[in-house]
Structure 1
Amino acid sequence: MDIRHLRYFMAMVEGGSLSEASRRLHVAQPALSQRLADLEQELEVQLFVRGPSGIAVTEAGTELYARAAAIVKQLESARAAVREKAGHAQGCVSIGILKSVAPIVATPLYLAIKQELPAVTPEIVVGYSDELRQRLRASQLDIAMQVHAAHEKCAPATLLYRERLCLVGPRPLVDLHPAPIRLEQLSGIPLILSSMQPSHRMLREEAARRGVALDIVGGIEDSKALLDVCATGTAATLLAESVAARRAGNAGLAYAPLDEPRLTRQVVVALNDSVMKTGAIIAAEAILARLLRERLEATLP
């Protein structure tokens, strides 16, 4: 088993079929089939289950994929680090950014990296905090934004900013209580909270811990659809302060911050500690932190 075997195997997993892996790798499908057979024979396990619609990875294959991804990432980092000895940051840097800030930072981040680090290829991934954390651990990302509650202990990371949660909705619901709002005051307000959104899960957990009964009338993951429903006047929701300040007014909604220290979000940037920290990774992290602070300065306290 060598690095080529691992790259072929990863392409099969990511492509979902031998034909798609063949297309991505520009390798004939019979050759890929033989490589897979050789790999399964060497490891003495079945890596895929074949079916009419493609291939499905087995539990053993899933384990191999996670380890292969880490090995390939380490190899790429080592190659970039050696080349950087010539004096220029280079290589591919994969960066995970939160859905909540992607509209204001994804494009400027890509353009800034291309301008300031011309030999670096940025790969930007957008997701929720939990998704990005998992991809970082699986060595699919070099850098990832993550969200933690203010009271949570977390691994060493660079703090980007802190922000409160805000009640967002039609003014009659938001103005039921003077701002800032306490958690107990949300109990009489119909709320749309998605189980997919980390901030909404954090709110639910804190309410359960304190015995506060929330009136949850439904859940919508997509933030635009969520605000559209709130704009009908039937319900409110909770959003991070940077998002509420940017989007509530455009949707014809009001917002008010919560006075709840335990529900304050700490947004950090973490690096993959299983790979070498190249100059490209460090420089890209600094650019991300700078852009976020510049663009959120007007909306955060």
Structure 2
Amino acid sequence: MDIKQMRYFVALYEEQNMTRAARRVHVVQAAVSQQIRRLEASYGVDLFERTVSGAVPNAIAHRLYPLCVQALNAADEVRVALSESSGRIAGKVTFGVISALPPLILPRVLIEFRDRYPDVELSVRDGYSQHLLEGVQSDNVDFAIVARAESRPMVKQVVLAEEELVAVVSNETYPIGETMTGAELAEMRVVLPSAGNFQRDFMVNELAKHGVAIHPELEVDSAFSVFQLVTNPGWASIISPSTFPATQFGSRLRCVKLVEPTLKRTLVLAYPQHKELSPAAALLVQSITEGLRQSGLFHVLSG
């Protein structure tokens, strides 16, 4: 069983679907199927039960899986050690970012990073802060960049930057000047994320501290749906300016500065407390931080 077969086996074991496994290891489906069949034939065993919906691991596969993961990790460590000995940065970095970053900043940062460090394999996950923090706690990601949240066991949080949230309204909503107070916002038909969302809780709590009670007309988590809704006059939402899709909605929507109160959201770097960032991960954090700085939308607080 060679390294390639181990990677294909682990991918199929975890995905339990030939198409998804092939996509994950960046080959055609037939290549994964051929290697798994060859592996099974070499030892005269079956590893998966083929079904209409996918491939279900059997008892032998369950026994092999942790051994293959351990072997692949060891192989990666050997590759990293050799690369670092030659002065090159290498390894794999799995990290998470909140959805506020990918549309504007992350693609450029990742392309430049890969061009500079071609031996570093990157895996990106985006989602809500609470889900990404769970990934940090369970060691499924090396780090995550999230909205600042309550402290969690075994997770270290380091402040990176802050951004000022804005109201987004239809260009047909009048009269609205260059700014909008929290009280004025509360009089509109407001769309907010669903209850339990970190950003929604932050916005509602900060407004409440200043005597502003927001009662959302609708709770919607899809950013695109929110923008569609507020194209209607009289509707509004609160967003990160970095998520505003000017190309799609710039002719119909506009961002308005919020005052009384101003809402500033803090971004933090979260990573497992029991280990330091790898050299590759630390360099990636630096690149992302610089991307935030260059965007002009974030006030970077870390070095």
Alignment TM-score, normalising by the size of structure 2: 0.68
CA distance in 1, matches of 2:146, 2:77: 22
CA distance in 2, matches of 1:250, 1:185: 23
Deviation at 1:267, TM superposition (A): 0.6
Contact 2:105 2:292 in 1 (8 A): yes
For structure 1, list consecutive stretches of 5 or more residues without a partner in the other structure. Answer: 40-47
- Residue 147 (1) aligns with residue 147 (2): yes
Query: What SS class does the counterpart of residue 227 from structure 2 fall into?
Result: helix
Q: How does 1:221-260 map to 2 (within 5 A)?
A: 221=222, 223-243=223-243, 249-260=250-261
Contact 2:148 2:266 in 1 (8 A): yes
Deviation at 1:138, TM superposition (A): 3.8
Q: Counterpart of 1:212? A: 213
Q: Counterpart of 1:193? A: 192
Distance 1:125 1:211, change over 3 A: same
* Identity in percent: 19
The one-letter code of the counterpart of 2:100 is: S
The one-letter code of the counterpart of 2:220 is: G
Deviation at 1:300, TM superposition (A): 5.4
Deviation at 1:171, TM superposition (A): 5.7
- Residue 28 (1) aligns with residue 41 (2): no
Deviation at 1:208, TM superposition (A): 8.1
Distance 1:17 1:255, change over 3 A: same
Contact 2:8 2:36 in 1 (8 A): no
CA distance in 2, matches of 1:280, 1:249: 37
Contact 2:169 2:233 in 1 (8 A): yes
- Residue 120 (1) aligns with residue 120 (2): yes
Query: What SS class does the counterpart of residue 86 from structure 2 fall into?
Result: coil
Q: Counterpart of 1:282? A: 282
Superposed CA offset, 1:224-267 (max 9, x none): 33223211214111102444596875543242225447x53211
Contact 2:193 2:221 in 1 (8 A): yes
- After TM superposition, the structure 1 stretch with the greater mean CA deviation from structure 2, 104-113 or 271-280, is 271-280
Deviation at 1:214, TM superposition (A): 0.6
Contact 1:113 1:122 in 2 (8 A): no
CA distance in 2, matches of 1:140, 1:169: 38
| Count of residue pairs brought into register by the alignment | 281
Contact 1:78 1:276 in 2 (8 A): no
Q: Counterpart of 1:268? A: 268
Deviation at 1:68, TM superposition (A): 8.9
Query: What SS class does the counterpart of residue 255 from structure 1 fall into?
Result: strand
Alignment TM-score, normalising by the size of structure 1: 0.68
The one-letter code of the counterpart of 2:14 is: E
CA distance in 2, matches of 1:49, 1:264: 52
The one-letter code of the counterpart of 2:188 is: I
Q: Counterpart of 2:24? A: none
Q: Counterpart of 1:76? A: 76
Deviation at 1:90, TM superposition (A): 1.3
Report the structure, 1 or 2, having the larger helix content. 1
CA distance in 2, matches of 1:255, 1:172: 13
The one-letter code of the counterpart of 2:109 is: L
The one-letter code of the counterpart of 1:215 is: P
Query: What SS class does the counterpart of residue 131 from structure 2 fall into?
Result: helix
Contact 2:106 2:288 in 1 (8 A): no
Q: Counterpart of 1:90? A: 90
CA distance in 2, matches of 1:272, 1:72: 22
Deviation at 1:124, TM superposition (A): 3.2
Distance 1:73 1:148, change over 3 A: farther
CA distance in 2, matches of 1:286, 1:92: 16
Deviation at 1:89, TM superposition (A): 0.7
Contact 2:92 2:121 in 1 (8 A): yes
Query: What SS class does the counterpart of residue 121 from structure 2 fall into?
Result: strand
